[in-house]
Amino acid sequence: MRNILIATDGSDGGRAAVATGLELAEAARAEVTVLYVRGPIEILGEPFYQRKLSGQLKAARSVVNAALATASERGVPARGEIAEGDPAKVILQLAESRDADLVVVGSRGLGQVSGALLGSVSRAVVHGANRAVVVIKEPQSTSVGRPADDEQVHVV
């Protein structure tokens, strides 16, 4: 394994994907690309569009920079990407263009009904990928407030 693509949106599941992806990269001595996909802006009018764009880019940079700082601390070579569009499509396109050996994504664990109604980025990535995908479930709290370790990683 040489290249790992980690997709994150800054959510708990996205942060768990970054942590797991960096662990895998460290063990495999692989390079990492951290990807944040922002949604298209539907607001018309210059001042409103610019404010929305600035806010999205600030959030994206914050998430990517935090992941890159963690990668640097762990000695994992990493670069960041911020893209716009449908998250699953962008993840799959970047994985293909970068020849990623593995894609790591987070999942909010919406379940089958909510996931089907709302759409699921991780589900779309799994079904559309022509390479290995690891889906990291959003950490669930146990009765003592800690994530249930046995429920966090799903290799597809």
Q: Hey, what domains does the chain have and what are their CATH numbers?
A: 3-155 (3.40.50.620)
pLDDT at position 150 is 45
The strand pair at 132-137 and 153-155 is best described as antiparallel
- Give the model confidence (pLDDT) of 69-79 as tens digits: 999 999 999 99
Which of 61-65, 109-113, 150-154 holds the top average pLDDT? 61-65
- Mean of pLDDT values over 32-43: 92
CA dihedral 124, 125, 128, 131 (to 10 degrees): -160
Which residue do the tokens 């589900």 mark? 123
pTM of the model: 0.83
Q: Is the pLDDT at 108 greater than 90, yes or no? A: no
**CB-count exposure of residue 56 (10 Å: 0-12, 13-18, 19+):** middle
pLDDT at position 43 is 74
